[in-house]
Amino acid sequence: MKVGLWLHYVNTPADIEQELTKLKSALITCYEKACPAHKCCGRKNVPWWNHELTQLHKEANKAFHKAFELCQDAEWDKNHAVRRAFKKALRCSKRQEWINFCSRTEGIHESTRLYKILGSSPVERLGMLQLPDGTWTSTLEEVYAHLLEVHFPGRQQVDINQSVRHEWASNSTFHSVMH
């Protein structure tokens, strides 16, 4: 039996193995060219982390390991004190960075402010919003509708499912406005 596609003719099981090896090699080459390997970036730096927190974190870990190893009440007390100092510094650092972020954000235009607050998070990550009647939105479309109603209260409601659509209310325009 001869099989002749874009592969060479196959007469024996050895020919099948040879052609499969060539096919496998071609697929791997294509994959490596289309999806080049790269190093993972690791964790992103957070703006509130600083050198002081790094030092306190190391001290807290050392105190914990020492207390765990020695199993003495005095060492556990030192561990709790160092851990408490680390947590306090962490909260202060986060609070200060939030204050700095808000003060930097308050002086800019509203649309820029909204973009900066949402930042790199895509729209799909928007959470549920509480509606005026006390219920919560459950879909992204409800979120969009509520945001449009709150920020553009006098807008004319358009039914997208109408058989005759206006040019400005086409589905593609609706999606480009919503996304």
Q: Where are the domains of the chain?
A: 51-118, 122-160
SS3 for 157? coil
Q: How many residues does the chain have?
A: 179
Q: What is the pLDDT of residues 87-112, one digit of tens each?
A: 999 999 999 999 998 888 777 787 77
pLDDT at 154: 74
Instruction: Retrieve residue 175's tokens.
Output: 């999606």
Residue 84: is its pLDDT beyond 90?
yes
Residue 101's Cβ-count burial label (10 Å; 0-12, 13-18, 19+) is: middle
- Report the sign of the C-alpha dihedral through residues 65, 66, 72, 73, in that order: negative
On average, the pLDDT of the chain sits at 78
Higher pLDDT, 136 or 121: 136
Q: What is the pLDDT of residues 134-168, one digit of tens each?
A: 888 888 788 888 888 888 777 665 555 554 444 44
pLDDT at 80: 96
pLDDT at 177: 47
Fill in the DSSP letter of residue 164: S
Neighbours of 63 (CB within 10 A): 20
